[in-house]
């Protein structure tokens, strides 16, 4: 399972889901799915998210093994 801190980062930066989606050229539904752990973004999108927040990918996404959904 992959966990992420995108929602926390958005809140820290004061960015809405809609603005985040617009800036990354994805849908708000995609943002919701990523934040809720229902969808893992592609490597390309992960890199864009990393660049957007000025953080390393591994600071945003974490592979948590042994947890069943």
Q: What is the CATH number of the domain that holds 33?
A: 1.10.260.40
Q: Is residue 69 part of a domain?
A: no
Q: What was the pLDDT predicted at 68? A: 62
- Report the domain count for the chain: 1
Q: Is residue 68 part of a domain?
A: no
Q: Is residue 58 part of a domain?
A: yes
Range of the domain at 6: 2-63
Q: Is residue 51 part of a domain?
A: yes
* Per-residue pLDDT tens listing for the chain (69 residues): 899 999 999 999 999 999 999 999 999 999 999 999 999 999 999 999 999 999 999 999 999 987 665
d(CA 49, CA 41): 9
Asked whether 49 and 60 are in contact (CB, 8 A), the reply is yes
């Amino acid at each position: 399972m992959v966990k992420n801190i995108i929602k926390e980062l958005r809140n820290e930066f004061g960015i809405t889901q809609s603005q985040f989606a617009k800036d990354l050229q994805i849908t708000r539904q995609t943002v919701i799915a990523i934040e809720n752990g229902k969808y893992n973004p592609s490597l390309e999108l992960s890199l864009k998210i990393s660049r957007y927040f000025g953080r390393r990918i591994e600071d945003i996404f974490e592979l948590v093994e042994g947890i069943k959904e």
